[in-house]
Amino acid sequence: MSVTIEKVDLSLKYTAYYKQVKEELFEGSSDILNDQRNKAFQSFVMQGIPTRKNEDYKYTNLHPSFAPEFAFVHSRTDEEANLQEIFRCDVPQLDTTLAFVYNGWFSKKSSAIDRLPEGVILDSLENISKERPELLSKYASLANPDEDPMVAMNTAFAKDGFFLFVPKGVVLDKAIQIINLMKGSSDLLVTQRNYICVEEGAKLQLLLCDHSENQNNYLSNSVTEVFAGSNAEVEFYALQNQHNKATSIHSVFVEQQRDSRVTTHTASLHGGLIRNNLKFILNGENCEANMYGISFLDKKQHADNFTQVIHAKPHCVSNQVYKNVLDEQSTGAFSGRIHVVRDAQKTNAFQRNNNLLLTDQATMQTKPQLIIDADDVKCSHGATVGQIDEEALFYLRARGIDEDKARLMMMNAFAHEVIQEIKLEPLRERIDELVDKRLRGELARCHECSYGKDC
């Protein structure tokens, strides 16, 4: 019983905190953001920090992550003189337009946004929501606070994040790389809200990298809304590489118009607790949505990928491949929901989740869910949880390859199916390398790292 009380208390702690800092939250924020705040807060009060009784959070207990006494960052702070100094790029061959978000706040001065093609906007959400509110007309239209307490909490607390706009017909020849850097002198809770709009016929490759400096407890609760116009093409890569005391909750919402193609890659290489919500709505005919995910877990790490694809219009294709490699006592979860609405005929929807357990203590939960209201569709799902194929291992060893190396080859092979789908070649090669290092038990951190082996 005491446990329940504690859980209620934890939610109360954050609702009390909201009331306490409310003025600070409203101050300096645009109407667009503030208009949503109170309503979202009410929604958070109703829902609380999710417990395992919440069906969508059945496999992830967020309560321990919210327990520390966190500091918040409610206003823009003086950031480090040059973030590019702190962060040494992890993909050296990758020629990108580099931008920084520091503790949830977009850093204009460290970002190379002046080199973007004309009409492309990459700026702080706070700024744009005040100066160009018309560009944010669909703010919070995808991320409904009533459907997820973490989205509610984000909407109530969010003050900044990045805003990215690619106007009609503009094809970005260079990928945009945004580094989310968390760095504080104490435990930190960061709320980040991002908004991406890729208009008709435009093309974007975006790479998000999550990093945390020093060994504090970090909790990041981010929401990203992505709007892809008709015939737009978006590749969205998320590289999660933090430490074991970091919790990352990232909810990504994508709306696609007709003939658009959106591909997401989520590579979770390191982190204490990772929860990725990825929700697509295919709102025009002939859309293609590809969702790939790979995670590597060890120690007591936990990763939970929760996906949802709503096929709202006919003739669309969605394809999901998620893989997990779980070592030691790590735990993982995958829930994939495909919803084909009544008139979305000729839908092709595929989903696959394969998991490799390397020890007896590692566990994986996998839950496919298909809701099909149309009658002329092709949908499939498959999930496997297994160990390394001993027959294959013996075959490799019988040719003189030692056991460790043979295992490594097999694990790389397992991961490679997902990694090979990465279209940005230098990124693909780099992730291959990081994965190989990760599987060898070395730290797969993509930048110079001062942590000990325990991070």
Partner 1 sequence: MLSIKDLYVSVEGMEILKGINLEVKPGEVHAIMGPNGSGKSTLANVLAGKEEYEVTSGSVLFDGEDLLDKAPEDRAKDGLFLSFQYPVEIPGVPMVNFLKSAVNEHRKHKGEKELTAGEFLKLMREKMDMVDMHPNLTNRSVNEGFSGGEKKKNEIFQMALLEPRLAILDETDSGLDIDALKTVANGVNALRSPERSAIVVTHYQRLLDYIVPDFVHILYKGKIVKTAGKELALELEEKGYDWIKTEN
Residues that bind partner 1 (CB under 8 A): 389-392, 394-403, 405-406, 409-410, 412-414, 416-417
Residue 433 Cβ, how far from partner 1 at the closest point, in Å?
15
Residue 76 Cβ, how far from partner 1 at the closest point, in Å?
47
Q: 74 or 438: whose CB is closer to partner 1?
A: 438
Q: Cβ contacts of residue 190 below 8 Å, gap of 6+?
A: 73, 103, 104, 182, 218, 219, 220, 221, 222
Q: 31 or 404: whose CB is closer to partner 1?
A: 404
Residue 410 Cβ, how far from partner 1 at the closest point, in Å?
7
Residue 323 Cβ, how far from partner 1 at the closest point, in Å?
11
Cβ atoms of 256 and 263 within 8 Å: the answer is no
3-state per-residue secondary structure call for the chain = CHHHHHHHHHHHHHHHHHHHHHHHHHCCCCHHHHHHHHHHHHHHHHHCCCCCCCHHHCCCCCHHHHCCCCEECCCCCCCCCCHHHHCCCCCCCCCEEEEEEECCEEECCCCCHHHCCCCCEEEEHHHHHHHCHHHHCCCCCCCCHHHCHHHHHHHHHCCCCEEEEECCCCECCCEEEEEEEECCCCCEEEEEEEEEEECCCCEEEEEEEEEECCCCCEEEEEEEEEEECCCCEEEEEEEEECCCCEEEEEEEEEEECCCCEEEEEEEEEECCEEEEEEEEEECCCCCEEEEEEEEEECCCCEEEEEEEEEECCCCCEEEEEEEEEECCCCEEEEEEEEEECCCCCCCEEEEEEEEEECCCCCEEEEEEEEEECCCCCEEEEEEEEECCCHHHHHHHHCCCCCHHHHHHHHHHHHHHHHHCCCCCHHHHHHHHHHHHHHHCCCCCCCCCCCCCCCC
Residue 394 Cβ, how far from partner 1 at the closest point, in Å?
6
Q: 211 or 438: whose CB is closer to partner 1?
A: 438
Q: 152 or 411: whose CB is closer to partner 1?
A: 411
Q: 95 or 403: whose CB is closer to partner 1?
A: 403
Q: 46 or 392: whose CB is closer to partner 1?
A: 392
Residue 301 Cβ, how far from partner 1 at the closest point, in Å?
24
Q: 400 or 452: whose CB is closer to partner 1?
A: 400
Residue 453 Cβ, how far from partner 1 at the closest point, in Å?
28
Residue 396 Cβ, how far from partner 1 at the closest point, in Å?
7
Residue 321 Cβ, how far from partner 1 at the closest point, in Å?
13
Q: 88 or 394: whose CB is closer to partner 1?
A: 394
Q: 260 or 324: whose CB is closer to partner 1?
A: 324
